[in-house]
Amino acid sequence: MDFTLPAWIDDIRARIAGFVEEELLPLEADPAAWDAHGNIAEAPLERMRAKARDAGLWTLQLPLPDGRHIGRVGMAACYEEMNRSVFGPVVFNSAAPDDGNMMVLDQLATPAQRQRWLDPIAAGQVRSAFAMTEPHPGGGSDPSMIRTRAERLGDTYVVHGRKWFITGAEGAAHFILIARTSDDPSRGLSAFLFHRDQPGWRILRRIGIMGPEEHGGHCELEFDGLEIPAGNMILEEGRGMKVTQTRLGPARLTHCMRWLGLAKRCVEVAQDYADRREGFGVRLADRESIQLMLGELGASIETGRLLVMKAAWEQDQGRYGRAEVSMAKIHVANLLHRAADVAIQINGARGYSTDTVLEWVYRYARQARLVDGADEVHRMVLNREMASNGRGFWSWEVAG
């Protein structure tokens, strides 16, 4: 394992860092730049996206215009820089769920599907959503419980069912849908593409949540006869789990990459206050209790970075890195929650206010332990891998 960054990738990373410092942090500090859902408003977003595109800092999860690819290790370094600002990922077209949708389409879509469904997302012309989770008694943590059905009628599939918590659905034009096409236990699910303007489905509601929202919110959808041509299936019938695994592994990992950027931002805000604030004749930064809090966060962030880099490296070798992704996801999701909590504590009442970004991160962080697999599900996966690989679970990669 070698996490050394090639100089050209470090150049991209450094340019992202500069863009965040010069453009996004000042914008984030301007209340007029926010929308009603705790995200960057559409007008400044479009302005910033144009600048990011002109700077060549755009859709870095796909091959660059010159054909080079920064790979997952390169993405780890770049995504962390992007999310020093809460506006970062969406400005660079690397926010969930478009990020994961683009990566899976890049990997699995046919050339015709890429042109129709991927290229407009990559160009920033449309947004997308990934519709898998269902309300009780449908599929959530356990995809074998998915009930939304797609019945084949000639060259068309007709969809009936319900989904919820579909991020971005209100603003999305392109949807990836996971639906049941048979009761086969391993090949019962299939993945489809559909467009917002097709009839036979609707948004029942935008679900209220405790945290800030991605553009388009988190929605509950109903399908009552949506017709999808067979040509809009990703891979073949029955390969929905393969599509899901291909999408969720990298998407979980890029969540972790972004969350590390947010965790580092929390430390930054805490250090800034601790350096300036005095009480009982002592600067906060000179108190050992504060130093221990920050030191513990520093070690935990670096542990997260190493777990993320190892999983990214696994994926760059063409593997899923399932155990590595699960370890990174559990660690970084909990770290983000703790980083926001500790930073709020160090900032006192200021930390609880909307004067800093900490309360935003704290509300957002709670979802990290649920989305793309709850902590407990990832622990279950890890236990399964340990049980099936025995002592081999702990092996090192050997050169050659």
Which residue ranges make up the site for ligand FAD (CB under 6 A)?
A: 97, 130-133, 140-141, 165-167, 209, 218, 367, 370-374, 376-377, 380
Q: Which is closer to ligand FAD, CB of 176 or CB of 307?
A: 176
Beta bridge partners of 201: 223
How far apart are the C-alpha atoms of 192 and 174, rounded to whole Å?
A: 11
Contact yes or no for 90/39 (Cβ under 8 A): yes
Min CB(73)–ligand FAD separation in Å: 26
- Contacts for 28 with CB less than 8 Å, ≥ 6 apart: 85, 86, 87, 357
179/293 with CB nearer ligand FAD: 179
Using CB positions, name the residue nearest to ligand FAD: 140
Element (H, E) at 224: strand 218-229
Tell me the closest approach of the beta carbon of residue 389 to ligand FAD, in angstroms. 19
**Alpha helices (runs of H) in the chain, residue ranges in sequence order:** 7-19, 25-28, 42-54, 71-82, 88-91, 98-108, 111-113, 119-122, 240-276, 288-316, 322-347, 349-352, 358-368, 375-389
Residue 317: CB minimum distance to ligand FAD, A: 27
In angstroms, give the least distance from the CB of 39 to ligand FAD.
13
Q: Which is nearer to ligand FAD, 133 or 232 (CB)?
A: 133
AA letter at 142: D
In the complex, the smallest distance separating the C-beta of residue 164 from ligand FAD, rounded to whole angstroms, is: 8
CA dihedral 236, 241, 246, 247 (to 10 degrees): 100
Q: Which CB atom, from 102 or from 132, has the smaller least distance to ligand FAD?
A: 132
Least distance in Å: CB of 298 to ligand FAD?
A: 28
Residue whose CB is less far from ligand FAD, 131 or 189: 131
- CB half-sphere exposure, 377, CA atoms < 13 A: 13
Q: Pick between residue 304 and residue 373 the one whose CB is nearest to ligand FAD.
A: 373
